[in-house]
């Protein structure tokens, strides 16, 4: 019985990060580690949202720029920029974020569904909006950020 309550606590924990002044969260169970931004190897003809690949202890992982993926303005890499290493559909990849904030404990009753944005905007990767004090945190389903086709392109960039 105690095992179940521990699992419930982990499911409600999110690593929060900032992109273009907005706070986002991904489930802590998807996050393998958080590293400082380092120089990446750019792969020719990779999708525009792929910054490049990184050698992480002998494993070549693709690194996605979430600003580009979400259509946000570019920002210079600075000392706060981080790469969050996540597992997406069994594949390890990095996501570039402006800064990592903290680990949030989110109560299910504080989560509202994502507001409808019309049929033209793809928002199925947003699992909800968590009300934290006076602000909102956009909760992401890391497995749905990339489409199936985009996952194939990212995989190809990593092995090129």
Please tell me what DSSP assigns to residue 41. B
Task: Output the pTM of the full model.
Answer: 0.85
**Residue 135 belongs to domain with CATH number:** 2.40.50.180
For 42, the domain range is: 2-159
Query: Where residue 1 falls among pLDDT bands split at 50, 70, 90?
Result: very low
Q: Quote the percentage of the chain above a pLDDT of 90.
A: 54
Query: Where residue 5 falls among pLDDT bands split at 50, 70, 90?
Result: very low
pLDDT tens digits for 28-81? 999 999 999 988 999 888 899 999 999 999 999 999 999 999 999 999 999 999
**SS3 (DSSP) at 151:** helix
Half-sphere exposure of 149 (CA within 13 A, CB side): 1
Q: What pLDDT does residue 132 have? A: 87
Is the pLDDT at 7 greater than 60? The verdict is no
How far is 32 from 131, CA to CA, in rounded Å?
25
How many folded domains does the chain comprise?
1
Give the residue among 148, 128, 150 at the shortest CA–CA distance from 140. Answer: 128
The top-scoring range by mean pLDDT among 70-79, 121-130, 148-157 is 70-79
How far is 75 from 53, CA to CA, in rounded Å?
19
Q: What are the residues whose beta carbons fall under 8 Å from the beta carbon of 63, sequence distance 6 or more?
A: 40, 50, 51, 52, 53, 54, 83, 93, 94, 95, 96
């Amino acid at each position: 019985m105690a095992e179940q309550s521990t699992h419930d606590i982990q499911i409600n924990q999110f690593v929060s990060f900032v992109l273009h002044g907005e706070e986002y969260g991904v489930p802590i169970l998807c996050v393998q580690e958080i590293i400082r931004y380092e120089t990446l190897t750019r792969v020719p003809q990779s999708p525009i949202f792929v910054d490049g690949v990184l050698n992480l202890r002998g494993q070549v992982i693709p690194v996605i720029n979430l600003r580009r993926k979400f259509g946000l303005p570019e920002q210079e890499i600075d000392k706060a920029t981080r790469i969050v290493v996540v597992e997406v559909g069994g594949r390890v990849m990095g996501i570039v974020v402006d800064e990592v904030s903290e680990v949030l404990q989110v109560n299910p009753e504080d989560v509202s569904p994502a507001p409808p944005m019309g049929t033209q905007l793809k928002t199925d990767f947003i699992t909800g909006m968590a009300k934290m004090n006076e602000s909102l945190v956009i909760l992401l389903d890391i497995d749905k950020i990339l489409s199936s086709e985009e996952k194939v392109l990212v995989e190809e960039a990593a092995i090129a």
